[in-house]
Amino acid sequence: MTGYGLTVDLILAHRGTPGRDATARSTLEAVLLESGRPLLIPGTRPVSNKFAERIAIAWKPTPQAARAVAGAMPLLKRAEQVVVLTVDEDKGRGDESDRLVSYLGRHGIKARIERLPPGPDGAAETMLSIASATSELLVMGGYGHTRLREWAFGGFTEHVLGGAPLSVLMAH
């Protein structure tokens, strides 16, 4: 299946029923890790005819996040609102978010940064709740850590694959 993904711009795949559909989950992971293409996963809430007018980018300066932004560029250019969400886990990383906003600006995309404090439920839940409340699409890198580490200790990718209410465009 991932062979077909090598010759398309974007792969659309359903996440299946959380906790009950292991085949759909392993298909998502295989496509994400092996296709080299961005993966669009519909959220649990209905998609409106104004899909992707408001886009949130979950930004952490990683190759995976950079590939997700590049894959989302056609959607980002059409969006009315783009917000770069970053959780202040490591002080001194603000300039990377600023560089992303400058990069987007060079492509004609007006974006703003929202720096979030890590909430009591963790960085992943904080970012996902803000993105869900303000956007129709979340753009993010997937599996910045090994899948084993994410499975054992939790991680943003695992959290989002488990059932994000909004649609997600991911790249590895």
| CATH number, domain containing residue 161 | 3.40.50.620
Does 159 reside within a domain?
yes
What is the pLDDT, as a whole number, of residue 53?
94
Q: What is the pLDDT of residues 79-116, one digit of tens each?
A: 999 999 998 766 655 578 999 999 999 999 999 999 98
Does 41 reside within a domain?
no
Instruction: Show the domain range for 132.
Output: 49-171
Alpha-carbon Rg for the chain, nearest whole angstrom, is 15
Does 38 reside within a domain?
no
Does 79 reside within a domain?
yes
Does 31 reside within a domain?
no
Does 67 reside within a domain?
yes
- Parallel, antiparallel, or unpaired: how do β-strands 81-87 and 167-171 relate? unpaired
Does 1 reside within a domain?
no
What is the pLDDT, as a whole number, of residue 152?
43
Percent of the chain with pLDDT over 90: 38
Does 29 reside within a domain?
no
**Total domain count for the chain?**
1
Q: Kindly report the pTM of this predicted structure.
A: 0.84
